[in-house]
Structure 1
Amino acid sequence: MSDAFRELLKKIGSGPHTGQALNREEAASAMRMMLLGEATPAQIGAFSIAHRIKRPTGEELAGMLDAYDEIGPQLGAIAGIEAIVLGVPYDGRSRTAPVTLLTALILANAGEWVVVHGGDRMPTKYGVPLIDLWQGLGIDWRSLDLAQTQAVFEKTGIGFVYVPAHFPEAASLIPYREQIGKRPPIATLELIWCPYAGKAQIVSGFVHPPTENMFREAFRLRGQAHFTTVKGLEGSCDLPRDRAAIVGVKQPERSPHDDLERLLLHARDYGFSSVNVPLCSEAFLIEQMQAIVKGEESDLLPSVLWNAGFYLWHRGIASNLEIGTQIAKEALSEGQIAAKVGAIAEAVAAS
């Protein structure tokens, strides 16, 4: 048992009247002790549920990310390159069809450097994980160590940090999600973690507005000057079509204390129907993704174009969303994305 961890646990777990939030250094210490197994399973479980009940602060998240930076993996910086890091819940999607990977591929094809990260199917949702969708496109990131992933990233402009292999310390905490029956606040880190050593724009999906405020405070404390928040589908960074897409943008040239630039985007204003594509099954989703990569029509295609068009505009590749949509459509119909998938698969196989 760790006496030091017990004191931190007592601080957050003393109830609504005497409980207190951890400061940044304490949060980093608590996260470090959990990642390194210095806290016992009983202590980690107690911390997870107590912290969920209390709710984390932005300062606590900043401290936990400090520990991630100390212990976890990072893809090496590419000189002069700002990567875009897409943060989505690791426990996947269960209701709506995700298009994150297709967005990432279209961005990479347009010359962007894209980092995505995640693990296997996991509690509490047990939704479709990104790693399975990569596999469905013929790309097996599971087989690579971090150095090999770095080589693929440098060659293709896209990299996937696979947590079970690259960050086993964090993967060791995943079973607690099943044991306590809830996603602990530790899971929030997967939305704002940046496993890239260089300059980055972090895109973080969220569901509840208070979560966005925690992101903003954590980013401010850590000096993260460029980030985007998306009230996306099931907490992802996929823009919805059935309601307004609420996006917050923090540009690096603005003061850390400036408010976010707020975007409210409606799919119908850009020629798309107001219907999200349901997730029928993983197998059918992969069939749809494969068809889109081949340049074929699919019910999922409007969601892909809606999202890719936004992100191409957001990253300055296109002057507006409509042009971004057209760039994405042409990249798919002309076989550019199929070629990109083939190049990544070849690079992975050669590593």
Structure 2
Amino acid sequence: MTKPLSEEQAFKVFDTILRSDDKDSSKESLVSAFLIGQRVNRETDRELKAYCLAFDDELGPPPVADVRSLTHYGEPYDGNTRFFRSTLFVAAVRSCYGESSLLHGVDWMPPKGGITEEQMLKFMGANTHLNPLQAKELLEDKDLGFAYLSQREARPSLFSLIGLREHIKKRPPLATTEKVQQLVRAKGREAIVAGFYHEGYEEPLLMLMRRRGVHSGLVVKGEEGALSMTTRLRSGNASKGLPVNYCSGFRSSTAASALEVDGVSRQSFSIAVNAKDYGFEPTDTPRTDRSVSKNIELGLAALHGQKGPAYDRIVLNAGMIDHLLGCDVAEDVNSALDRAREAIDSGRAPKRFLNYIKASNKMK
């Protein structure tokens, strides 16, 4: 398919794909060809908006959590295959000072089939079958403040396409759009953070975030295209293009609810974060090499105060994201980083993490 689709055409095609229960192999081949063609030709903004519209509100309007601030984390659904994945632990840290976080994803996703938040939570015994209403309750719990939703429960039609995605061996357009979702809304400020790898996707992702009407949006070129910024030095022979730790986004100064924001007063920014500028010693990123238990071991040790590369990455990603999103008491980067360190060193962050595992299993 060489000609871009209009927003209406793209919506109709993708809506038909999502609503179809037909497993006819010839139709699956046509759908595969369509999705591959969309990615090869690079999806237009109109097409990306249409994909979001097609799977929005599949289970009805999202519930609204009574929280002051909510960050939606859009990690790549296909996980990490090499490096420590920190976002789950960052969410526990940020919840200690009132910055609630909603994570979403799957257990396993092609093409990488790497470590995901769902794998880690399952390994530790958490309930990963929550629905959006249950996630809302966990977000509102003053002893928790973060939650995880599986695509299996939140977007069943998208989840049903995993087999097809494995067959086509490429990331389809929905690998971009599924990262920019609001499965639960907030009465207070909302932000979306998403990871990216290939240059050129940062602006489409930010466009989708603006369309969502959030106060702040941020894209991060972390390691492996994930959200985790690193403390390692950039190699002298690093490839051309945007460096790892490149961040681009927008933020709003208004304190109105995200349900009311009009997007007029947003401030855009971009920065390549150099951790050394903020007092971090350069260190290589811990390797996990698809080991869920190793990733958990590193994360929990850091949450319990063990200093080292994993600890530094959790602090860096918590404090820097607070700062870039314009969160309360985070205008000064070093103050934001100190607040993240205090959440860990005081013992509050690991307690929140364990509380989440227990509370998720009490949900019926």
1:130 is matched by which residue type in structure 2? E
2:139 is matched by which residue type in structure 1? F
Measured after TM superposition, the shift of residue 129 of structure 1 is 1.1
Deviations 1:121-167, CA, capped at 9 Å, x for gaps? 2211010011112234442323x334333322222321211111332
Q: Which residue pairs with 2:203 in the alignment?
A: 213
2:80 is matched by which residue type in structure 1? R
Measured after TM superposition, the shift of residue 298 of structure 1 is 4.5
Q: Which residue pairs with 1:311 in the alignment?
A: 321
Q: Which residue pairs with 1:285 in the alignment?
A: 295
Gaps of 5+ in 2: 235-242, 255-262
Q: Which residue pairs with 1:9 in the alignment?
A: none
- State which drifts further: 125-134 or 64-73: 64-73
Quick one: which of 146, 151, 158 aligns to 1:170? 158
Question: Is the 1:100–1:238 contact (alpha carbons within 8 Å) kept by the matching residues of 2?
Answer: yes
> Matched residue of 2:147: which SS?
strand
Measured after TM superposition, the shift of residue 332 of structure 1 is 1.4
Call closer, same or farther: CA 1:221–1:25 in 2, change over 3 Å: farther
Matched, 1:327 2:339: yes
Question: Is the 2:75–2:227 contact (alpha carbons within 8 Å) kept by the matching residues of 1?
Answer: yes
> Matched residue of 1:276: which SS?
coil
Cα distance in 2 for partners of 1:290, 1:221 equals 36
Measured after TM superposition, the shift of residue 115 of structure 1 is 0.8
Matched, 1:141 2:121: no
Gaps of 5+ in 1: 1-12, 14-18
Measured after TM superposition, the shift of residue 228 of structure 1 is 1.0
Alignment of 1:38-49 (within 5 A): 40-49=27-36
Cα distance in 1 for partners of 2:13, 2:268 equals 30
Instruction: State the TM-score, normalized to the length of structure 2.
Output: 0.83
Cα distance in 2 for partners of 1:85, 1:344 equals 17
| Residue-pair matches, total | 333
Alignment of 1:25-104 (within 5 A): 25-37=8-20, 40-71=27-58, 75-79=62-66, 81-104=68-91
Q: Which residue pairs with 1:339 in the alignment?
A: 351
Cα distance in 2 for partners of 1:228, 1:299 equals 24
Call closer, same or farther: CA 1:337–1:253 in 2, change over 3 Å: closer
Measured after TM superposition, the shift of residue 302 of structure 1 is 1.4
Measured after TM superposition, the shift of residue 329 of structure 1 is 1.8
Call closer, same or farther: CA 1:252–1:258 in 2, change over 3 Å: closer
Instruction: State the TM-score, normalized to the length of structure 1.
Output: 0.86
Measured after TM superposition, the shift of residue 84 of structure 1 is 0.7
Cα distance in 2 for partners of 1:327, 1:257 equals 28
Question: Is the 2:322–2:336 contact (alpha carbons within 8 Å) kept by the matching residues of 1?
Answer: yes
How large is the Cα RMSD of the aligned pairs? 2.4
Quick one: which of 271, 275, 286 aligns to 1:267? 275
